[in-house]
């Protein structure tokens, strides 16, 4: 990326790099900081911002470090719930050619989130987790985390798709239909696991994130106007 009009930006960062260790991104950052410093007015000073007035993010803290702490302990979930959540997340978003929810430690983020949520949110989550185990017990006589992978998939998949109405009766009624709450329990768990996964560093990389802050200007539609009409 070039920042025209800024002397701190070499015309071609790739070629002028003083050291092979300084990559393009570092140069962009350096240029940005130089632009920032030059724009400061006389009455500004970095010291004027009292650190207690800053958010942890504005202080530059990496708040994700707790996830990989070797002494990590759950703040909200008990051991059984934590194990169930890990098993569930691993089936919903497994490791494929890319890491899955277990690798992304979604259980640890969800545990932290639950610990600061209102009681109703906590209760709904715990109920949903218990529902999965109770269905598993009904069908297999075991908790979900103890099932073989095929059985886990067999149990979850019907809840993971929108329901079709019955074609067989005029009133679209079906016998033995699972109650609405079973879908809600599953959807609640899946949505939270997906948010925790795609909100993680692993999840962002799964989406193709390359960590760069800039790739030039937005070019938009490059087709002729009539292509789209």
Partner 1 sequence: MAQDTLQQTYDAIVVGSGATGGWAAKRLSEAGLKVALVEAGRAVTPREFTEHMPSYKLKYRNHSPEMLRTRPIQKQCYACMEYNYEWFVDDLENPYSTPPDRPFTWQRLRILGGRSLVWGRQSYRLSDVDFKAASRDGYDVDWPFSYADLAPYYDIVERYVGISGAAEKNEMLPDGQFLPPMKMSCGEVRLRESVKNKFGRTLTIGRAAILTQPHNGRAACHYCGPCERGCFTFSYFSSPFTTVKDALKTGNCTLMTDAIVSHVDMDTGSNQARGVTFVHRVTKETKQVRGKAVILCAQALESTRILLNSSTRDYSKGLANSSGLLGHYLMDHVVGGGASGTFGDFNILPTANPPHRPNGIYLVRFRNTPATGKHPHFIRGYGFQGGSSPEFNMDAPGIGTDYKKAVKLGTYDVSLGAFGESLANFDNFCEIDANLKDAWGIPALRISMAHGKNEAALMRDAGVTAAEMLEAAGAKNIRLNTGVEMPGMAIHEVGTARMGNDPKKSVLNAFCQSHDVNNLLVTDGSGFVSSACQNPTLTMMAITVRACDHLLERFRRNEV
Residues between 159 and 198 with contacts to partner 1, criterion CB under 8 A: 160-162, 190-191, 194-195, 198
Chain Cα centroid distance, residue 228: 34
154 contacts partner 1 (rule: CB under 8 A) = no
Residues 67-126 touching partner 1, rule: CB under 8 A, are: 91-94, 96, 98, 109, 112-113, 116-117
**CA gap 17, 25 in Å, rounded:** 11
Report the alpha-carbon distance of residue 96 to residue 203 in Å, rounded: 13
CA angle 53, 49, 62 (to 5 degrees): 60
Of 42, 70, 141, 179, the one binding partner 1 (CB under 8 A) is 42
User: Which residue's CB is nearer to partner 1, number 175 or number 225?
Assistant: 225
Q: Is residue 23 a contact point for partner 1 (CB under 8 A)?
A: no
As measured in angstroms, the least distance from the Cβ of 123 to partner 1 is 17
Exactly one of 58, 75, 148, 178 binds partner 1 (CB under 8 A); that residue is 58
Residues 11-45, buried b or exposed e (16+ Cβ, 10 A)?
Answer: eebeeeeeeeeeeeeebbeebbeeeeeeeeeeeee
Q: Where are the beta strands (DSSP E) in 58-156?
A: none
Residue from 14, 70, 179, 216 binding partner 1 (CB under 8 A): 216
Residue (25 or 130) nearer to partner 1, CB:
25
Dihedral of CA atoms 178, 182, 184, 189 in degrees, nearest 10, equals: -140
Does the protein bind partner 1 through residue 219 (CB under 8 A)? yes
Q: Interface residues for partner 1 in 119-148 (CB under 8 A)? A: none
């Amino acid at each position: 990326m070039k920042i025209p009009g800024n002397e701190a930006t070499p015309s071609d960062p790739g070629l002028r790099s003083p050291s092979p260790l300084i990559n393009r991104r570092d140069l962009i950052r350096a240029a940005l900081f130089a632009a920032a410093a030059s724009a400061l007015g006389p009455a500004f000073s970095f010291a004027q911002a009292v650190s207690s007035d800053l958010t942890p993010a504005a202080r530059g803290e990496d708040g994700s470090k707790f996830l990989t702490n070797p002494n990590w302990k759950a703040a909200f979930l008990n051991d059984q719930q934590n194990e169930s959540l890990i098993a569930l997340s691993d089936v919903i978003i497994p490791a494929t050619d890319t890491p899955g929810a277990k690798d992304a430690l979604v259980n640890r983020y969800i545990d932290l989130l639950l610990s600061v949520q209102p009681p109703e949110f906590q209760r709904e989550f715990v109920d949903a987790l218990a529902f999965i185990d109770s269905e598993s017990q009904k069908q297999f006589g075991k908790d979900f985390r103890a099932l073989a992978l095929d059985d886990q998939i067999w149990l979850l998949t019907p809840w993971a798709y929108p329901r079709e109405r019955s074609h067989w009766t005029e009133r679209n009624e079906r016998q033995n239909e699972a109650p609405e709450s079973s879908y809600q329990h599953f959807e609640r768990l899946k949505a939270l696991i997906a948010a925790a996964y795609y909100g993680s560093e692993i999840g962002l990389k799964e989406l193709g994130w390359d960590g760069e802050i800039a790739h030039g200007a937005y070019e938009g539609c490059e087709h002729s106007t009539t292509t789209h009409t």
